[in-house]
Amino acid sequence: PQATAWAQAGRAIPALGTTHADYFYGQIACTRALSDEEIAHNYELNTGKVIVETIGDSNVMASPGILVKEHAPFTWGKSPAQAVHNAVVVEVVAGMALQTLQINAEVDTLNPSLLDKHYSRKHGANAYYGQSKK
């Protein structure tokens, strides 16, 4: 329900801490609202299109989730199990971001160096942290 609340508010989930950075490189984006026309005709297809529009040219696997404004989160992964895991992580970081902003509404987003460190140590050719994939 936390990620859905962010989607309903039309707000991206900001990267505020290292748990977020372990899984998502930067904020978890929120799409624009669908137009009346997009809702009336081919709603499901247009939901997919607004997701693709928002992702643009970014690395889709670097942030394996998105919020659809006024709707809910969508996640993906290299397998169905990983997509489900990413959905759980989206919920966790959505709740942590909400609590953080309640404690300090003026909090800065995560230091870019710390974001880079936490994301790159678990992802990519030089990843070294976490469970072995063997």
The answer to whether 68 touches 50, Cβ cutoff 8 Å, is yes
| Distance in angstroms (rounded) separating the CA atoms of residues 95 and 6 | 9
Helix, strand, coil percentages (3-state) for the chain, rounded to 5, are: 50, 10, 45
Residue 72, SS3 per DSSP: strand
Q: Please indicate whether residue 22 is annotated as part of the active site.
A: yes
Q: In whole angstroms, how far apart are CA 111 and each of 32, 104, 107?
A: 27, 16, 11
Catalytic entry in 43, 57, 119, 129: 129
Short-list 94, 64, 93, 96, CA closest to 80 = 64
Active site residues: 22, 129
